[in-house]
Amino acid sequence: MRRFSILLTALLVAPLLLNFATSAPTPLSTAAEAQAPPPINNANVPRLPLEVVPDFLKYPATMNLGEVLGVAVNSKGSIVVLNHPGTATSGPLYGNATTQLLEFDRTGKFVREIGQGVYALGYAHAVRFDKYDNLWVVDKGTNAVIKFNPAGYTVMNLGRRPEGYEGGEIERPTPAEARPADGLFNGPTDIAWDAQDNIYVSEGYVNNRIAKFNKNGDWVKTWGQYGEGGEHANLNPGSFRNVHTMQVDRQGNIYAGDRGNRRIHVFTGDGQFLRFLHMNVPYDKSRHPALGNLPMNRPDETAPWTLCITNGPTQYLFAMDSEPGRLYKMTLDGKILGVYGESGRQTGQFNWPHGLACPSENELYVADMNNWRVVKLVTSRATTSSR
């Protein structure tokens, strides 16, 4: 009788245990077999009818641009350029601090430099305006995020620059060895906000995650970790190899450009994974890149370097890669509507595009990093092919 009772209990409990095991919440850090739906077929995509506005920015020859990492446009049309100028008269030659924030009016005329001597500026990576025209600067060198009000005063600092007192060079762990801490950054890359003014900061050079703060700068949560995305960039949602760029749409969804894994993750504002987007328009892989060497058998999906979402009645996602050096116009579900450009150094070409501003779908600004310039693009009256 006792054996029968034990057997009966086992038969009754086993299905409950099995149900519990199979219904337990799956962590965002999913196993290698976790795979998103197949990407959208973007094989036949037209060229965007864009043209370059020549010599748009106006500044004297005494202030040539260096590597331009970011560009932002506020509600009044004012433009801020994140410039890395360098110096020929002081050092060190490698590893020196370099950041300028240059403001231009809507006609391209130079107005002023912002943030001179600010403690948390050292090697800034991105600039963005919020809806109140506050300027935010993400500095991967100092591990800080700085908020400037429209007058140019600093009013908030997130993260913390390592003290000079500690001396010597800062040793950064590899991304696989990184151990993130709440409220602190290691290799931050970009910033965005939702409709409730919550703040999202991406990290990608050491930590690989998205950090969420409320509008007062109080820590809320984080998600993501370093990991591979698979041969076709559709495995392991929430695993990143450099979250290099980020945007938020009007619904509060987060678009995280995973440069090392060649994909864009889409999450809710609380970190629930929704889908992948891919920049997967076929291209001529026999054409030599502007910099470096790439294998001939590389996949069609390319790495997102910078993102921007428009704020018109219909929101569009613009994205850029370094090779083949194109600008992509996408719907928010990943359908590519058109492309423009290629890698190179001439008009209509880009050499490591690193920042993007999109006041509208018909007016775009590109921080063309290794061409040392800002490119203004507008929709042309007649459809033209990419130059």
Q: What residues pair up with 235 in beta bridges, in sequence order?
A: 35
Written as tens digits, the pLDDT of the chain (387 aa) is: 444 444 444 444 444 334 433 333 334 544 434 667 778 889 899 999 999 999 999 999 999 999 999 999 999 999 999 999 988 888 788 888 899 999 999 999 999 999 999 999 999 999 999 999 999 999 999 999 999 999 999 999 999 999 887 666 777 899 999 999 999 999 999 999 999 999 999 999 999 999 999 999 999 999 999 999 999 999 999 999 999 999 999 999 999 999 999 999 999 999 999 999 999 999 999 999 999 999 989 999 999 999 999 999 999 999 999 999 999 999 999 999 999 999 999 999 999 999 999 999 999 999 999 999 999 999 987 544 333
Running DSSP on this structure, what letter comes out for residue 369? Answer: G
Q: Report how many domains make up the chain.
A: 1
CB 214 within 8 A of CB 199: yes
Say what the pLDDT of residue 10 is.
43
User: Is 386 a domain residue?
Assistant: no
Tokens of 28: 């965002």
Q: The whole model's pTM is what?
A: 0.90
- The residue written with tokens 């050079």 in the block is 205
User: Is 26 a domain residue?
Assistant: no
User: Is 215 a domain residue?
Assistant: yes
Cα separation, 229 vs 35, whole angstroms: 9
CATH number of the domain that residue 170 is part of: 2.120.10.30
Say what the pLDDT of residue 65 is.
97
Q: Which of 112, 151, 109, 156 is nearest to 137 (CA)?
A: 156
Type of residue numbered 112? R
Helix (H, G, I), strand (E, B) or coil at 15: helix
User: Is 4 a domain residue?
Assistant: no
Determine whether 317 is exposed, middle or buried from the number of CB atoms within 10 Å of its CB (0-12, 13-18, 19+). Answer: buried
User: Is 6 a domain residue?
Assistant: no
Helix (H, G, I), strand (E, B) or coil at 265: strand
Say what the pLDDT of residue 163 is.
87
For the chain, the residue count is 387
Cα separation, 237 vs 85, whole angstroms: 37
Cα separation, 209 vs 134, whole angstroms: 24
Rg, the chain, Cα only: 23
Tokens of 95: 């590893």
Cα separation, 225 vs 242, whole angstroms: 10
Cα separation, 264 vs 105, whole angstroms: 32
DSSP 296-353: TT--S-B---EEEE--SSS--EEEE-SSS--EEEE-TTS-EEEEE-EESSSTTEESSE
Burial 267-285 (b: 16+ CB within 10 A, else e): bebebebebbbbbbbebee
Domain of 169, in residue numbers: 36-379
User: Is 22 a domain residue?
Assistant: no
203: left (phi over 0), alpha (psi -120 to 50) or beta: beta
What are the DSSP E strand ranges found in 218-301?
219-223, 225-226, 239-240, 243-248, 254-258, 263-267, 273-277
CB 308 within 8 A of CB 358: yes
User: Is 187 a domain residue?
Assistant: yes
Three-state DSSP string of 23-43: HCCCCCCCCCCCECCCCCCCC
User: Is 117 a domain residue?
Assistant: yes
Cα separation, 24 vs 26, whole angstroms: 6
